[in-house]
Amino acid sequence: MQFKDLEFWFIVGSQFLYGEETLRHVEEDAKIMVEEMNKSGNLPLPVRYKTTVKTCEDASDIIAQANYDKACAGIIVFCHTFSPSKMWINGLVALQKPYLHFHSQFLSTIPNEEINMDYMNLHQSAHGDREHAFMGARLDLKRKIVVGYWKDKDVQEKIGKWMRASAGVAFSKQLKLVRFGDNMREVGVTEGDKVEAQIKFGWQVNTWPVGDLVQKIQYVTQEEVDKQVEEYEKHYVYQIEDKEAVRYQALVELGMKKMLEEQGAHGFTNTFENLYGMEQLPGLATQDLMRQGYGFGAEGDWKVSAMTAIIKFMSEGLTGGNSFIEDYTYDFEAGLALGAHMLEVCPTIATDKALIEVHPLGIGGKKDPARLVFEGKEGPACLASLVQMGNRFRLLVHEIDCVKPHKDMPNLPTARVMWEAKPNLADGAKAWMLAGGAHHSTLTYDLDFEVLQDFCRIMDIECVHINADTDPDKLEEELFLKDIAWKLK
């Protein structure tokens, strides 16, 4: 699935009451809105005007078409006249695509001098949209409501964020993951119910023995490895003369990529506890695959791998970067956290070109792996962590500010990024731990809370937001009440 192949359908709600002339206006106005919004540059994907719904059959037909159309990633509905919405029930109960209720109006102001009943009848969004919103509430429809003038940038950007979330949902529904081996022994948060994940998110998570990869890399040719080693030079800077360790990473990357392509998979996991027959733990290999958009989770963590793949897909065209990351160590005095992993951080978040280095690895009992070493970018970002709470999934979204490390760390042989957590280190970490967030997460500079919240709403999963306003005591209370509510659902 390609991001650029997706689109959104713009459907207008109306009725026959005001006559053909009004309906002609409704359609003309809607087409102007769609055309100008597409030209604004604020929407990552196109909107297409599809139809004006006037009957129950109209609504059911267009929603049935949307459900079956692979390119249609979601529906935007706008009620331009007074549009009765009981006629939408049969369509909406069958709806399988993300839904945005756009509460706008063709003109931004009330033309006081000229206003008459014809104008009123055409511009009854405040009327028809409330009727439509009642139906959304009555049906418990998982919809985003965007309110505001359709030409305003901030309004268009809200739609744009929902488009990214909806594209992520479309991608998620067909996502396949390859797990090389199982989870790291005895780790809890990386476990989960793969059947429930497929029911909820569509993910096909399956395991292959690492021996299959060892076999696969035997068929990679020296010429392919030569090309891959050269390819690395386009993106990274060699800090070493002897490229033997890099050649092995190239071999592993090519082998993994062949297996992923054969399976049509966009994410993978591995674990240092299961490297039988391999010379090094994949480091550079994994990092370079993440750069290309593949999701990754270490220690068998398939949930973070899937979320990283989805977040990368949702971020199409943005340049901030996204990576698998792990909370490692704190500076309590400076109020900073240092995120890293033993090898596998994605170079899309690097400040400068990443360096290729070779160092020993304390665990795994293998040869010294080649890896990319770099510092992460400065700037606002989010950490996203999906955990399974028995009967349900919960996505934690933690707002952070990434900062330049205040001192050099010349002896740290891994990529790293330092951040100030919101509201502060202690309360942020406490909130995260109260909500059961994992040590692994996806670090995204491209997506903010709103996109991830939209994703959770469409997927009907719990979302926990940790930001500048978070009070751990209030969050504890909120989690307690939400837990009861989710268990009753």
Least distance from Mn ion to the Cβ atom of residue 197, Å = 20
Close Cβ partners of 189 (under 8 Å, ≥ 6 residues apart) = 301, 387, 436, 438, 439, 440
- CB nearer to Mn ion: give 186 or 242: 186
Q: How far apart are CA 448 and CA 445, in angstroms?
A: 8
CA pseudo-torsion sign 443, 446, 448, 454: negative
- Binding mask 86-125 toward Mn ion (x if CB under 5 A, else -) reads ----------------------------------------
Q: How far apart are CA 82 and CA 310, in angstroms?
A: 38
- CB nearer to Mn ion: give 15 or 183: 183
Least distance from Mn ion to the Cβ atom of residue 251, Å = 24
Least distance from Mn ion to the Cβ atom of residue 226, Å = 32
Pick the stretch among 48-56, 160-168, 225-233, 324-332 that binds Mn ion (CB under 5 A). Answer: 324-332
- CB nearer to Mn ion: give 30 or 304: 304
Binding residues for Mn ion, how many (CB under 5 A)? 3
- CB nearer to Mn ion: give 37 or 342: 342
- Binding mask 241-280 toward Mn ion (x if CB under 5 A, else -) reads ----------------------------------------
Least distance from Mn ion to the Cβ atom of residue 328, Å = 9
Q: Return the HEC string of the chain.
A: CCHHHCEEEEEEECCCCCCHHHHHHHHHHHHHHHHHHHHCCCCCCCEEEEEEECCHHHHHHHHHHHHHCCCEEEEEEEECCCCCCHHHHHHHHCCCCCEEEEECCCCCCCCCCCCCHHHHHHCCHHHHHHHHHHHHHHCCCCEEEEECCCCCHHHHHHHHHHHHHHHHHHHHCCCEEEEECCCCCCCCCCCCCHHHHHHHHCCEEEEECHHHHHHHHHCCCHHHHHHHHHHHHHHCEECCCCCHHHHHHHHHHHHHHHHHHHHCCCEEECCCCCCCCCCCCCCHHHHHHHHCCCEEEHHHCHHHHHHHHHHHHHCCCCCCCEEEEEEEEEECCCCEEEEECCCCCCHHHECCCCEEEECCCCCCCCCCCEEEECEECCEEEEEEEEEECCCCEEEEEEEEEEECCCCCCCCCCCCEEEEEECCCHHHHHHHHHHCCCCCEEEEECCCCHHHHHHHHHHHCCEEEEECCCCCHHHHHHHHHHHHHHHHHC
- CB nearer to Mn ion: give 128 or 300: 300
Does position 415 interact with Mn ion (CB under 5 A)? The reply is no
- CB nearer to Mn ion: give 299 or 454: 299
- CB nearer to Mn ion: give 269 or 280: 269
- CB nearer to Mn ion: give 189 or 205: 189
Least distance from Mn ion to the Cβ atom of residue 298, Å = 4
Residues 277, 359 contacting (CB under 8 angstroms): no
Close Cβ partners of 468 (under 8 Å, ≥ 6 residues apart) = 399, 422, 423
Least distance from Mn ion to the Cβ atom of residue 99, Å = 37
Question: Which of 129, 253, 326, 462 is in the footprint of Mn ion by CB under 5 A?
Answer: 326
Q: How far apart are CA 393 and CA 387, in angstroms?
A: 6
Least distance from Mn ion to the Cβ atom of residue 299, Å = 5
Q: How far apart are CA 310 and CA 444, in angstroms?
A: 11
What would the two tokens of residue 8 be? 């959104």
- CB nearer to Mn ion: give 131 or 182: 182
Q: Which residue is nearest to Mn ion (CB)?
A: 298
CA Rg, the chain, in Å?
25
- CB nearer to Mn ion: give 342 or 382: 342
Least distance from Mn ion to the Cβ atom of residue 354, Å = 19
Bridge partners, residue 120, by sequence? none
- Binding mask 155-184 toward Mn ion (x if CB under 5 A, else -) reads ------------------------------
Least distance from Mn ion to the Cβ atom of residue 222, Å = 33
- CB nearer to Mn ion: give 299 or 446: 299
- CB nearer to Mn ion: give 299 or 375: 299
- Binding mask 282-321 toward Mn ion (x if CB under 5 A, else -) reads ----------------xx----------------------
- CB nearer to Mn ion: give 236 or 272: 272
Least distance from Mn ion to the Cβ atom of residue 361, Å = 13
Residues of this chain that bind Mn ion (CB under 5 A): 298-299, 326
